[in-house]
């Protein structure tokens, strides 16, 4: 998915 830097956490 187009996660970008927004989903770098758990």
Partner 1 sequence: MNIFRLAADVLHVVSIFLLLLKIKTSHSCAGISLKTQFLYMIVFSTRYLDLFFTKPWHSALTFYNTIMKILFLSSSAYTIYLIRNRYKHTYDKVHDTFRIHYLIAGSAVLALVFHIRLTPFEIIWAFSVFLEAVAIMPQLLLLQETGQVENITSHYIFCLGSYRALYICNWIWRYFMEHRRNQWLAWACGTVQTLLYADFFYYYILSQRQGKKLRLP
Closest separation in Å from C-beta 4 to partner 1 = 9
Number of residues that bind partner 1 (CB under 8 A): 9
Closest separation in Å from C-beta 10 to partner 1 = 5
Most distant pair of Cα atoms in the chain: their distance: 16
Q: How many angstroms separate the CA atoms of 4 and 10, rounded?
A: 14
What is the x/- site pattern for partner 1, positions 1-10, by CB under 8 A?
Answer: xxx-xxxxxx
User: Within its chain, how far is the Cα of 2 from the centroid?
Assistant: 8
Name the site residues for partner 1 (rule: CB under 8 A): 1-3, 5-10
């Amino acid at each position: 998915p187009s996660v970008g830097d927004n989903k770098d956490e758990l």
